């Protein structure tokens, strides 16, 4: 497509790993394993397209309620993914970042994550942001705590608090808001993801389960976005 509009920031709710596995009579962790391949495919394609930020909902604050064995499998998968893929991120000039209550992750996972963030910090291409132990409401609450502290310390008058000022107290303060939110597996929910930031994002929902969502599907979402007229409440 000639002058296609490429979103600066894409956010993805990666859903349907469990159902993908169930349909094949496999364990849920196999769905997650296959889902990690979709992560690799989407990161690579976003880097190629010139997308500047990609935020992936990898583990929500609610996901802790899953059986211990599934949580452990997801943490192991994340650790293995980071260990294995960091050299590829370096080759693709991808900078890794994370949002969420990261200190709740297992210590070994945090170590690998910080190492990968540190190593890729010199990269200047796509910023890949993993949302881990992340909840949108929790983020807003943490933001409120932070802004209340600045008020108590006398750095800001409450009358000066605007949406832009508040945004600077969120985990995402360094990134622009997502332009496009993709959700796989057909669910029409936000599931506590980036509640503040997606106010004006274009939504793209596909029936495909996340493990089946690959480069062509990302292209289809971008093409769909490219045809949308964004008015941000204006005319
Ligand atoms: C949703 O599927 C997916 C998750 C809870 C985790 C997402 C994790 C990955 C894609 C794998 C690894 C991630 C990285 C960054 C390497 P679900 O289990 O809720 O599926 P279901 O709704 O069909 O049960």
Does residue 1 have a pLDDT over 60?
no
Return d(Cα 189, Cα 126) in angstroms, integer.
27
**Which class does domain 9-135+178-226 fall in?**
alpha beta
**Residue 114 in tokens:** 């910080």
Q: Which single residue is written with the structure tokens 């994002």? A: 201
**How far apart are the CA of 114 and the centre of ligand 1, in A?**
21
Average pLDDT value for residue range 210-224: 98
Q: What is the pLDDT of residues 91-149, one digit of tens each?
A: 999 999 999 999 999 999 999 999 999 999 999 999 999 999 999 999 999 999 999 99
The C-alpha angle 17, 126, 110, rounded to 5 degrees, equals: 60
Pocket probe mutation, ligand 1, options 37, 129, 210, max atoms within 8 Å of Cβ: 210
Going by C-alpha positions, the residue among 190, 207, 208, 210 that lies closest to residue 199 is 190
Average pLDDT value for residue range 155-159: 97
Average pLDDT value for residue range 6-29: 98
Higher pLDDT, 199 or 230: 199
Q: Is the CB of 17 under 6 A from ligand 1?
A: yes
Going by C-alpha positions, the residue among 132, 153, 193 that lies closest to residue 145 is 153
**How far apart are the CA of 122 and the centre of ligand 1, in A?**
29
Catalytic residues: 15, 63
**How far apart are the CA of 16 and the centre of ligand 1, in A?**
7
Pocket probe mutation, ligand 1, options 17, 94, 193, max atoms within 8 Å of Cβ: 17
**How far apart are the CA of 154 and the centre of ligand 1, in A?**
43
Going by C-alpha positions, the residue among 54, 125, 135 that lies closest to residue 92 is 125
Average pLDDT value for residue range 181-206: 97
Q: Whose alpha carbon is nearest atom 7 of ligand 1? A: 58
| Closest atom of ligand 1 relative to the 32 alpha carbon | 11
Is residue 38 a contact partner of residue 81, using CB atoms and an 8 Å limit?
Answer: no
Residue 218's alpha-carbon distances to 16, 25, 48, 205, 213, in angstroms, are 16, 27, 12, 11, 7
Instruction: Give the per-residue pLDDT at 157.
Output: 97
Round the average pLDDT of the chain to a whole number and report it. Answer: 97
Pocket probe mutation, ligand 1, options 13, 32, 191, max atoms within 8 Å of Cβ: 32
> What is the gyration radius of the CA atoms in the chain, in angstroms?
18
Q: Model confidence at 230, in pLDDT bands (50, 70, 90)?
A: confident
**Residue 103 in tokens:** 């200190």
**How far apart are the CA of 121 and the centre of ligand 1, in A?**
26
**Residue 133 half-sphere exposure toward CB, CA atoms < 13 A:** 12
Q: Is the CB of 213 under 6 A from ligand 1?
A: no
Instruction: Give the per-residue pLDDT at 2.
Output: 58
Is residue 190 a contact partner of residue 22, using CB atoms and an 8 Å limit?
Answer: no
| Closest atom of ligand 1 relative to the 209 alpha carbon | 23
Long-range CB pairs of 4-7 (<8 Å, 24+ gap) are: 4/222, 4/223, 4/226, 5/225, 5/226, 6/49, 6/50, 6/51, 6/222, 6/226, 7/51, 7/178, 7/179, 7/180, 7/202, 7/222, 7/225
Phi-psi category of residue 114: left, alpha or beta, with phi > 0 → left and psi -120 to 50 → alpha: alpha
Residue ranges covered by each domain of the chain: 9-135+178-226
């Amino acid at each position: 497509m000639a002058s296609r509009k490429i979103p600066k920031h894409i956010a993805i709710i990666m859903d349907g790993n469990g159902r993908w596995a169930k349909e094949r009579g496999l364990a849920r962790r196999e769905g997650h394993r296959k889902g990690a391949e979709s992560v690799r495919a989407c990161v690579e394609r976003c880097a190629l397209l010139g997308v500047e930020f990609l935020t992936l909902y990898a583990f929500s604050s609610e996901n802790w309620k899953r059986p211990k064995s599934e949580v452990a499998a997801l943490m192991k998968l994340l650790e293995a993914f980071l260990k294995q893929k960091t050299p590829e991120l370096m080759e693709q000039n991808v900078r890794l970042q994370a949002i969420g209550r990261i200190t709740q992750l297992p210590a070994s996972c945090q170590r690998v994550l910080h190492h990968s963030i540190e190593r890729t910090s010199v990269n200047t291409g796509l910023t890949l942001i993993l949302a881990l132990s992340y909840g949108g409401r929790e983020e807003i609450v943490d933001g409120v705590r932070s802004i209340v502290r600045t008020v108590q310390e006398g750095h800001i008058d409450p009358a000066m608090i605007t949406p832009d000022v508040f945004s600077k107290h969120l985990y995402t303060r360094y990134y622009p808001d997502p332009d496009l939110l993709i959700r796989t597996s057909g669910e029409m929910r936000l599931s506590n993801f980036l509640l503040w930031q997606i106010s004006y994002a274009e939504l793209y929902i596909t029936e495909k389960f996340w493990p089946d969502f690959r480069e062509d599907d990302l292209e289809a979402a971008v093409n769909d976005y490219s045809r949308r007229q964004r008015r941000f409440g204006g005319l």
